[in-house]
A = this chain, B = another copy of it.
Amino acid sequence: MLHVLLHMARHDGPMKSETIGTMLGTNPVVVRRTLAGLRDAGYVRSEKGHGGGWVIACDLERVSLLDVYRAVGGPRLFAIGNEHSNPDCAVEQLVNTAVEDVLRDAEALLVKRLGAVSLAELSRGLDARCAGVSRRRLPGVD
């Protein structure tokens, strides 16, 4: 979806769900479903009828990757979670506490890092990349 947002920001006029769907190899309805979260969060706006489609509705400077992630709807960041088969078991309680402790810190880092990057920064990175593609090495790519 970040992919889509950046394209949208650089695109002149609204983008159709079908165009976006073709772009990332899926279909229009799935695009609408996913984009609905971003619309509800106020990051994009959708317009109906002739010449309609999706447009950016926010200041890219004020929206972070974390904002997008949350709006698009992944409440769970990690693939691992705790079991609670017998809540009274001291072993289970201790293990859960230890694991949750680690997970909490890792999630905090993830949140911090994702929250520190704005869409505008990504867009600027793209400008730089296009400008110097033939002369310089690409930033962040080995």
Could you tell me which A residues sit within 8 Å of B by CB distance? 2-3, 6-7, 23-25, 65, 69, 74, 76-80, 83, 85-86, 89-95, 97-99, 101-103, 105-106, 109-110, 113-114, 117, 122, 125-126, 129-130, 138, 140-141
Contact = CB atoms under 8 A, between A and B. Distances in A.
How many copies of this kind of chain does the complex include?
2
10 contacts: A3-B83, A23-B85, A24-B85, A76-B79, A77-B80, A79-B79, A90-B129, A91-B126, A94-B126, A95-B122
Contacts of A94: 6, 122, 125-126, 129, 140
Contacts of A6: 91, 94-95
A103 to B, nearest CB: 8
A125 B85 CA distance: 21
A13 to B, nearest CB: 18
Contact of A130 (B79, B90, B140): B90
A65 B99 CA distance: 9
B2 A99 contact: yes
A110 B107 CA distance: 9
Given A79-B76, A83-B24, A101 B140 contact: yes
Contacts of A3: 83, 85, 89, 91-92, 95
B105 A113 contact: yes
Contacts of A103: 110
